[in-house]
């Protein structure tokens, strides 16, 4: 069943050195559209300095993801948009300026329009994406009309002017070199509207465009390959071209004999360089040189924080408008499925009207043209009034096109429209999940498997925000309770959880109907400088949110320090790279599902770090009632993993623990035999008890409980002994 999907790389999660590796100019974008059109009926790409967004109408987003792999493995920076409503909301929020580097900026609407023009030129736009994009542009206009979110927006032109002022340049006494004639035209216009300038140079790959712009602003046009003759003469250089410039981009500036690099050492006056280009026009190494001040897009992002504060109060209003427009478009999206029936019904009525008028008019005698027109208007009004209610009902029924005894088929029969052929899903299944990249990826992978069982079902992903997403991880079921509430109330039909996140308490009315085949249970280490665990420096700081990991890491290396860390993968990696941590520990399974296992610098064995209870498994939860959802989900269940993970949870329950206790367990089922290893420790990790038990898999509850009681007794005994020895001292 086709749907709107997408994938995006943006400034929110990707630094500029990553974005510039995936920057597409118009020619490259057109080639990408042509390539992707081979696998999708409709494709649309937004390529700007701050984002690369790919949208398509097709079965899933995998084709978009595969295309981006041509650039390398940048999975950790990508945002997946695996379902229609998620993709719609992302584009509408982008058009509203809510996803921009400078919140509320106006330029993005024009960029979306330009991207639409490019896609139409390549004939990759169809009715679905065309309507979505036009509605997105409307949303962007409405947000700026009904809120003040764009009033304090810091455009690139504004930031450029502010930087010039901050560095004490008076334009009437300064010379300015602008590289690029596209978006740079707006910057030049803004600057020259505010002040006169001593001397202006415009450089471009296209000398005609440079000349046209230079003539308009009283400047001098130069060719890109002549830049080296001018850069030492000017005070301010602004780069903003997507074309290859190689301006001051030598790898080793100090050893370079190139005039373009050496000017920095010979210039007697300070210089200001502002780089709006992507890829960057200037070597970032120039920031270290005395006398040079260089700013790129990431530097500008930090500068726009003050204007963001001014717009902060407008964000909820803008978000509300986006939600309203998303709902409207979603309504159109589902109504459109019934459009062949509506169109056929309307044509049928029109034919009846024309037929009856052809019968009536000859019998009315001599009629004036005005009388004939009046009769035609009357008949048209009559048809509209007669059809009004049926049309409304058909619209309503289009939301339930997945029903087994589909009402739309009844409508077809009632109005004699059996010949109209429309795709009717057998059932619709709404799948609840968190909105994190990992959760969406896991959920989509589950859905793809379920489709193999029931290819005629329609699966809709519904993102539900949890306490854990808001940073409140101390709440019981931080990542699951909100989803479970949606399941109980019928908002969703099934939920996909990371099994290790599920609390041990059962929710009345819900049932774990299936457990996925277990992925790799090991933990991995990602280090700032690429070291393995035992190569980390003495006293290295390792980030983890798990007591289980902290205690076992200390057992392996007593010298290391552990520091609490939370957040999604991108956040944790960012915190590490910014200097708070030397390394972080994550689950192999999640990283691997994201296609990012190559970023792991070390992999622990399950014996080195015994995993969390149910680590590596996904749990599919449904309402505890018979029906097609239960029948579908049961087909997904992997029996050996179910027994093993249920045994681990029994071990956890017997110890009275939850996911924040220093407890670990790993069970394996082989040839109907179960072996479970367990760890139970004191809160401070000073006493650690490890053991294992085995037996018939059918007796997993007793085996798990027996091991738990054994380790609990052992811990109590060791604790008493430690207290006694401490008292004796």
Residue 27 near residue 21, CB atoms below 8 Å? no
Q: Which of 260-264, 282-286, 372-376, 713-717 has the lowest mean pLDDT?
A: 260-264
Q: Which of 171-180, 624-633, 636-645 has the lowest mean pLDDT?
A: 171-180
**Predicted pLDDT at 578:** 82
Cis, bond preceding 467 (omega within 30 deg of 0) = no
Which token pair is 496?
Answer: 């996909």
With cut-offs at 50, 70 and 90, classify the pLDDT of residue 701: very high
Nearest to 613 by CA among 500, 707, 473: 500
Residue 678: phi and psi, rounded to 5, are: -140, 155
Q: Tokens 């370079």 label which residue?
A: 256
Q: Which residues on neighbouring strands pair with residue 433, listed in sequence order? A: 463
Which token pair is 94?
Answer: 């982008």
Taking the C-alpha atoms of 129, 133, 135 and 137 in order, what is their torsion angle to the nearest 10 degrees?
180
Residue 394 near residue 408, CB atoms below 8 Å? yes
Query: For the residues 20-27, what does the mean pLDDT come to?
Result: 85
With cut-offs at 50, 70 and 90, classify the pLDDT of residue 2: confident
SS (H, E, C) 415-435: CCCCCCCCCCCCEEEEEEECC
Checking if the pLDDT of 570 tops 80, the result is no
**Predicted pLDDT at 219:** 87
**Could you count the other beta carbons within 10 Å of the beta carbon of residue 555?**
15
**Predicted pLDDT at 268:** 56
**Predicted pLDDT at 472:** 45
- What average pLDDT is seen over the chain? 83
With cut-offs at 50, 70 and 90, classify the pLDDT of residue 263: low
**Predicted pLDDT at 353:** 86
Cα–Cα distance measured from residue 642 to residue 468, given in angstroms and rounded to the nearest whole number: 25
User: What would the pLDDT profile of 345-367 be if each residue is shown by its tens digit?
Assistant: 777 888 888 899 899 988 888 88
Q: Which of 43-47, 407-411, 523-527, 662-666 has the lowest mean pLDDT?
A: 407-411
Cα–Cα distance measured from residue 604 to residue 695, given in angstroms and rounded to the nearest whole number: 27
**Predicted pLDDT at 322:** 94
User: What would the pLDDT profile of 666-680 be if each residue is shown by its tens digit?
Assistant: 999 999 999 999 999
Q: Which of 91-95, 461-465, 696-700 has the lowest mean pLDDT?
A: 461-465
Please report how many Cα atoms fall inside a 13 Å half-sphere around the Cα of residue 507, on the Cβ side.
21
Nearest to 77 by CA among 51, 99, 55: 51
With cut-offs at 50, 70 and 90, classify the pLDDT of residue 303: low
Catalytic residue among 235, 275, 493, 501: 501
Q: Which of 31-35, 71-75, 356-360 has the lowest mean pLDDT?
A: 71-75
**Predicted pLDDT at 255:** 46
With cut-offs at 50, 70 and 90, classify the pLDDT of residue 475: very low
Q: Helix, strand, coil % (nearest 5) of the chain?
A: 50, 20, 30
> Would you give the DSSP letter of residue 154?
-
Q: Show the domains of the chain with their CATH numbers.
A: 3-153+314-332 (3.30.460.30), 156-303 (3.40.50.720), 353-414 (no CATH), 523-603 (3.40.190.10), 647-729 (3.30.160.40)
Taking the C-alpha atoms of 640, 646, 650 and 651 in order, what is their torsion angle to the nearest 10 degrees?
60
208 is a catalytic site residue: no
**Predicted pLDDT at 251:** 44
Which token pair is 446?
Answer: 């589950």
Alpha carbon 143 to its chain centroid, in Å, reads: 22
With cut-offs at 50, 70 and 90, classify the pLDDT of residue 586: very high
Nearest to 651 by CA among 639, 667, 637, 638: 667
Whole-model pTM over 0.75: no
Checking if the pLDDT of 602 tops 80, the result is yes
Cα–Cα distance measured from residue 158 to residue 163, given in angstroms and rounded to the nearest whole number: 9
User: What would the pLDDT profile of 394-441 be if each residue is shown by its tens digit?
Assistant: 666 665 555 555 666 666 666 666 677 666 667 889 999 988 888 899
């Amino acid at each position: 069943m086709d749907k709107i999907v997408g994938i995006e790389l943006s400034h929110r999660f990707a630094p500029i050195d990553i974005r510039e590796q995936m920057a597409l100019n118009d020619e490259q974008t057109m080639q990408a559209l042509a390539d992707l059109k081979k696998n999708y009926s409709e494709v649309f790409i937004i390529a700007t300095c701050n984002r690369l967004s790919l949208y398509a109408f097709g079965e899933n987003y995998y084709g978009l993801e595969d295309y981006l792999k041509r650039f390398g493995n940048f999975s950790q920076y990508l945002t997946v948009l695996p379902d229609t409503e998620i993709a719609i909301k992302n584009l509408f929020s982008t058009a509203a300026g809510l996803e921009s580097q400078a919140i509320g900026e106006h330029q993005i609407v024009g960029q979306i329009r330009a991207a639409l023009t490019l896609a139409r030129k390549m004939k990759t736009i169809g009715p679905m994406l065309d309507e979505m994009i036009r509605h997105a542009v409307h949303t962007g206009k409405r947000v700026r009309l009904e809120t003040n979110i764009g009033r304090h927006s810091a455009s690139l032109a504004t930031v450029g002017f502010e930087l010039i002022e901050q560095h004490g340049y008076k334009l009437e006494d300064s010379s300015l070199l602008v590289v690029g004639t596209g978006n740079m035209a707006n910057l030049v216009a803004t600057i020259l509207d505010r002040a006169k300038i001593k001397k202006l140079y415009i450089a471009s790959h296209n000398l005609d465009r440079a000349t046209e712009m230079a003539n308009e602003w009283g400047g001098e046009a130069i060719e890109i390959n002549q830049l080296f003759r001018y850069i030492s003469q000017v005070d301010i250089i602004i780069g903003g071209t997507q074309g290859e410039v190689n301006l001051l981009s030598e790898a080793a500036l100090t050893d370079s004999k190139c005039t373009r690099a050496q000017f920095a050492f010979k210039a007697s006056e300070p210089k200001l360089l502002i780089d709006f280009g992507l890829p960057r026009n200037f070597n970032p190494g120039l920031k270290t040189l005395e006398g040079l001040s260089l700013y790129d897009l990431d530097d500008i992002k930090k500068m726009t924080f003050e204007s963001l504060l001014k717009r902060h109060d407008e964000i909820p209003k803008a978000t509300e408008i986006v939600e309203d427009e998303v709902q409207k478009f979603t309504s159109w999206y589902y109504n459109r499925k019934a459009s062949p029936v509506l169109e056929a019904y309307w044509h049928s009525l029109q034919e009846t009207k024309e037929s009856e008028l052809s019968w009536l008019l000859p019998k009315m005698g001599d009629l004036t043209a005005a009388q004939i027109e009046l009769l035609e208007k009357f008949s048209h009004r009559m048809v509209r009034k007669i059809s009004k209610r049926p049309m409304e009902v058909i619209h309503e029924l289009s939301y339930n096109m997945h029903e087994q005894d589909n009402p739309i088929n009844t409508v077809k029969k009632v109005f004699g429209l059996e010949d109209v052929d429309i795709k009717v899903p057998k059932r619709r299944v709404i799948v609840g999940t968190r909105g994190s990249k990992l959760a969406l990826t896991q959920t989509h992978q589950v859905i793809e498997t379920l489709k193999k069982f029931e290819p005629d079902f329609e699966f809709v992903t519904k993102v539900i925000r949890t306490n854990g997403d808001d940073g409140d991880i101390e709440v019981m079921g931080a990542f699951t309770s909100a989803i479970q509430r949606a399941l109980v109330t019928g908002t969703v039909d099934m939920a996909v959880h990371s099994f290790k996140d599920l609390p041990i308490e059962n929710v009345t009315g819900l049932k774990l109907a299936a457990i996925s085949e277990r992925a790799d249970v090991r933990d991995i280490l990602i280090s700032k400088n690429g070291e393995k665990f035992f190569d980390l420096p003495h006293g290295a700081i390792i980030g983890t949110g798990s007591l289980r990991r902290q205690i076992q890491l200390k057992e392996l290396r007593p010298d290391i320090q552990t520091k609490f860390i939370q957040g999604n993968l991108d956040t944790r990696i960012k915190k590490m790279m910014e200097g708070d941590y030397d390394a972080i520990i994550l689950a192999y399974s999640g990283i691997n599902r994201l296609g990012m296992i190559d970023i792991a610098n070390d992999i622990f064995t399950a014996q080195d770090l015994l995993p969390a209870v149910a680590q590596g498994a996904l749990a599919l939860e449904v309402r505890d009632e018979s029906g097609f959802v239960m029948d579908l989900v049961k087909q997904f269940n992997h029996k050996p993993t179910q027994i093993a993970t249920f045994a681990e949870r029994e071990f956890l329950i017997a110890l009275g623990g939850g996911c924040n206790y220093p407890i670990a367990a790993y069970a394996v089922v082989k040839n109907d035999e179960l072996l479970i290893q367990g760890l139970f420790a004191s809160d401070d990790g000073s006493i650690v008890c490890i053991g294992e038990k085995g037996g018939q898999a059918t007796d997993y509850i007793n085996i798990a409980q027996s091991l738990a009681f054994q380790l609990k007794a052992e811990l109590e005994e060791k604790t008493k002994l430690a207290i006694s020895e401490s008292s004796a001292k």
